[in-house]
Structures are given as structure tokens and as C-alpha cells.
Structure 1
Amino acid sequence: MAGDKGKAGTLRAVVVTGGGRGIGAATARRLAQAGHAVCVNFRADAAAAETLVQAIRADGGSACAIQADTANAADVARMFDEAEAALGPLHALVNNAGITGPLGRFVDLDVAALRRVVEVNLIGTLLCAQEAVRRFARYPTAPGRSIVNISSVAASTGSPGEYVHYAATKGAVESFTVGLARELAAEGIRVNAVAPGTVQTGIHAAAGDPERPARIAPRVPMRRVGAPEEVAEAVLWLVSDAASYTTGAVLRVTGGL
């Protein structure tokens, strides 16, 4: 895609957290296809991340896989250090890492599970954004620096009876997106979010309900759930120069919900 490389033709480095599977993997692939150098972050599934990196390289792209728990500040700093050493100065961050925790009524939610969802979805997003802004500050005249946070339609629906705790973290992510966008706008740094609806990924099985997409599909105005690649296209646009006047936006990719 024209405009996704720097003026000297150098690759623009992007960190994609939780990039080994699902929406993160689709986003990493699409960014690489558009000419970005991609850091595929993973916490536990090294095999999935390495397989994706090898596929990107086989297709002529540039990528590396880096393990880090995004809810751990030391891990986050190390990840960005290693990503820049491997790929060059940071151009963009995609805050994709997230978990739902188990499905069910809020009153029955285990406190440890609640804390982990907040740590990954909210604290992790904040820590990675904070580190990205510190890296951006080293190159104050670099064009196109941006952050894209992955939210969810749950931020609007609240997801009653399923995971209101998850929805609450995504609502916080959207508030954070707007506030940080306004704080950084004068510095030429854009901050946006993508809020997917139900997407066909492994996150549903991880929550204990692999059949959830099929059950949700009839409620969606388009009568289907989304594909990870459809969300990746929205992320790519927000990262790209085509979105140069877009900041503080929450782009809904929901099939009409």
C-alpha cells in the first residue's frame, strides 16, 4: 500500500500485542502485506507466533516474535527494546492482547479471574501505550506515529449474563483512547480504537463456549459474525497515512450492531 513506508523506503515497525492468533494474527499479516515490519507479541503460545512470523517472511515480509506478558511493566519495556533492535524505530502499536475470562453471571465471577481480565485488557493496554509514547518521543518529527486499541462491541452492549467485567474493561479502553488522543494530538501522535462485534476466533472456546458465534449470528443485522481479516482491514486503515486526520475515533466493525 502506498504511503505505508517511510520517505526513504524503510519499513515502519509495528508492535501487535497478542499477535499470534485470531484478530492479532490477521492484523500482523495484513500490516506486513502493506509494507510494515511487524513484532508479533505472544505470552504463552510460542509455536503459533513463530509459525506466523515464518509465514510472513516466506511472503517477503519482515517480522519477529517476542514473548512478553503485557500486564507486566518490565516485560513490556523489554519487548519494545527487542522489537526496535530487530525492526527499527517504532511507528505504531496495536493493543490487541485481551481475554474474556469465563462466561457467566457477574456475581459468580472468581476474583482471581476478574483481576486477570482487568490486568490484561486494561492495565496491559495502558502499559503498552505508555511505553509506545515514550518511544515516539525519541523521534518527535517522525510522521504517522499512532496507537490502535482493540475494544469490543461489548463496551456498548455491556454483555449481560456473559462477561460484564470484560465489557467494563473495554469501556475503559474506549475512554482511554479518547483522552490519550486529545492529550497527544498536538504532538502528531494519533490514538484510535477498533470495536469488533462477534468474530470467529478461538476466544470463544477459551471462554468455554465454542458455539457462541453460531448462536450470536442470527442477532447480527448482517446475519453473520465477522472474520479476523475484516477487523484487520480497519486496523490497517487507522495505522495508515490515509487516516492522517483521524484521532480519538472508535471504529465499529460489528455487522450493524
Structure 2
Amino acid sequence: MKSFRSQPQNRPKKSSLVIGRAKVIAALKEGKQLERVYLMQTVHGPEIEEVKKLAALHQVPINKVPVEKLNGFNITDHEGCVAIIAKIQYQDLQNVLSFVVERGETPLLLILDGVTDIRNIGAIARTAYCCGVHAIIIPDKGVGALNEDAILTSAGALEKIAICRVNSLMKAVDTLHLNGIKVFASEMTADKNVYDCNFSEPAAIIMGSEEKGIFPALMKIADTSFRIPMSGNFESLNVSVATGMILYEAMRQRMAH
């Protein structure tokens, strides 16, 4: 197995684009890792249907956009279809879990639900790598693009830590449960404090967005929820700061064993 590795975003370099329907279809068939596919809102036809089918098969997100978005890439021959080559090499979740267990290590994973700000994602990846997290699990929709800006914010950590992109966080939790991993959910109204959780066992921690928190159905299938106690009466912590506090506690517990 290979080794792991709402801010204005820069226009992607032309070398990172796959331009036109036939080329996007070919890239998907070859299994080239794509960050996402952009389809013009008004396009249709057999080739577009094939793009949609192949993208779903390879869990590549599709964004339907106005033509101005595609023209904004400074290209004209796009035929209403452009893909961006992924900067991150995404890993299969089960492969990562098997690799970690075979190495004799206790899995520690992080699940990001609805975290869209690439600065937060970059900061979280940096802390996760430093605290011994084996993989970050993200959904294929509703997450910030892991582009050059995100990698820069992470100080390169996004290229060092395994990133598992899944089409359903619910199914990912099922996979974790089947592998004997306990799933913890960070929730500011929970009764249990973070330091009362046992993170030295195989564990995955769900972090939700600052605005909406964790999706209710996902919260429901978590094994336990916990909160970070605060002395002041304040609404919430920044998600990357909260993640850092939790992961440090997990690392502290694991180093003590």
C-alpha cells in the first residue's frame, strides 16, 4: 500500500484541468483522481450521462454551475464539462484501517461533517497529523475543496495524512463499527466531558460545522457524545481549535498507556 500522505480561491492552473467531455470521460475511466467535475447547468446528452455515471462510480463530486464559472477558468473549449485533477491522493477507508491494524497500531480517525472553510480544514489536518491521527474522513459533498490553498494552510499535512473521501458518512460509521472502532461525537450540549472519554481504544471522532453541528442522523449512530467544558458562557469554539483540544487529549491518553 502506498504511504499516506469561505476564502477566495485562486483560479486553478490550466495544467490541473481536464477540459471537454471526452477527456473527462477518459480520465474517469482511467481512474485518475479528480477533485470534482463541473458541469454547465444546461448541458445534457449521452456523454454527460456517462460523465455522471462514472463520477458516481468513482465518488467524484459533480457541481452544476453557470457557464460563467467555466469561462472563469480562462478556457473556451470546455463543452460545458471540466474536471479538476486532485491534489490529494484519496485512500480507501477499509484499506487504511487494515493497514493501521496490520502495523500493530490502535486506529484513531477524524470525521469532518459539513466543515467547508478550507482554512479550518488545513489547520485541522496539521493538528491531526501532529497528534497521530491515521486518517481524516470527509464526505464527497458539502466540504471545502482540498486544493493548493488548503494544502498551504495545512503546511503540507494534507499530503502526509490519509484522506478518505466517502459518498456517505453514515456508511463510513458502519464500516468503523464493523472494524471495532468506537465513534465519538463532539456536541456542546452533551453531558460527558472530553477528558472522561477513553480515546486510547480504537476511536473515531466526529466534528461538525460551527453553524449546524453534526447531522442529526449521524449523531444518532455515534456511540457517545461529549463536550469541551468552558468557563465562559459563549456559543462555541472555532472548529479547528476545538479539534486541536480534543486530539491533544486523545494523544495525551495514548501516550500515558
TM-score interval (norm. to shorter): 0.3 to 0.5
Q: TM-score, normalised by structure 1?
A: 0.35
Q: TM-score, normalised by structure 2?
A: 0.35
Higher helix share: 1
